[in-house]
Chain A
Amino acid sequence: MTHALFHMPNDIEHVSDMVGEIMAYLADRLPDLQVFKAEVALVEALSNVVEHAETTRPAEPIEIAVRTDDDVFAIDIFDPVGAQPFDLREHASDLGTVDIWAERGRGIGLILLCTDEVAYGPLDGRNRLSLKFKLETAE
């Protein structure tokens, strides 16, 4: 298993650069089929953390751990220290049920659609959102 750690300031302006860095790390480790799903889920999840994880310590960074194994990879996103828990699964809407004219509300549905498993809960005193993907290969 390989493992890499990344840190992002808790600021929406940094999401694209962080995603670029992580996807560059993953690019050689994932089949092309998975790259799109991973990027969509990662963008939406990081934006969600910045927008919804209420914290009294905004200077604390968001930590992202990427784990890859033979048949699965996971992106773990740790809420910034001091953030109130926000379990996106409790706010999930199936993309098929989102009003087609809505201007918001697609992000969590996209995360759930693009991942094989989503978990959220405390780990070592922090809250962790874990996005898991089964490695698929084109036939």
Chain B
Amino acid sequence: MIKITQMENGITTVRPGVERLVASNAKTFKDELIELVGSGSALIVLDFDGVSFVDSSGLGALVGVLKRIGNRGELVVSGLNADVAQLFRICRMDRVFKSYSSADAAVQAMGDRL
């Protein structure tokens, strides 16, 4: 499901690998990301380019992964379309996740903080 698109300076860029992150696939998505975290990736850019819709289960999965990373690393998001960004704002996820216009911008910003 998830697709690792880039690994650079300890930063892993991942795409959800689905067009819609919803109740039917949120658990698999969360499990695969947690497995990635367990394998040592703690700096993750989650690139939503190509994802048209996220529901409350998808948001819950994201929060679960972030909680698993804890203070060992960072999870940021990029490429949110207008609807997904609006859902993030409505659910106050914009206070939880740093968001960038593109995966490259996210990797650059995360790298600058290292």
Give chain A's interface residues, CB within 8 Å of chain B. Answer: 12-13, 15-16, 36, 39-40, 43-44, 47, 50-51, 95-96, 98, 100-104, 106-107, 110, 113
Q: Are B23 and A47 in contact (CB under 8 A)?
A: yes
* A-B interface, 4 closest residue pairs, ranked by CB to CB distance from nearest: A106-B56, A103-B60, A107-B56, A47-B23
Q: Are B83 and A36 in contact (CB under 8 A)?
A: yes
- Of residues 50 through 108 on chain B, the ones whose CB sits less than 8 Å from some CB of chain A are 53, 55-57, 59-61, 63-64, 67, 83, 86-87, 90-93, 95-96
Q: Which residues of B contact A39 (CB under 8 A)?
A: 53, 83
* Total count of chain B residues near the partner, CB < 8 A: 23
Once the chains are docked, how many angstroms separate the CA of A103 from the CA of B86? 18
Q: Are A102 and B60 in contact (CB under 8 A)?
A: yes
A-B contact pairs, 20 of them (CB 8 A): A12-B24, A15-B23, A16-B20, A39-B83, A43-B55, A44-B56, A47-B22, A95-B91, A100-B96, A101-B67, A102-B63, A103-B60, A103-B64, A103-B67, A104-B56, A104-B60, A106-B59, A106-B91, A107-B57, A110-B56
Shortest Cβ distance from residue A25 to the other chain B in the assembled complex, whole angstroms = 17
Q: Are A110 and B90 in contact (CB under 8 A)?
A: yes
Contacts A43-B55, A98-B91, A101-B63 known; list 18 others, CB within 8 Å.
Answer: A16-B24, A36-B83, A36-B86, A39-B53, A39-B83, A40-B55, A44-B56, A47-B57, A95-B90, A100-B96, A102-B63, A103-B61, A104-B56, A104-B60, A106-B56, A106-B60, A107-B57, A113-B90
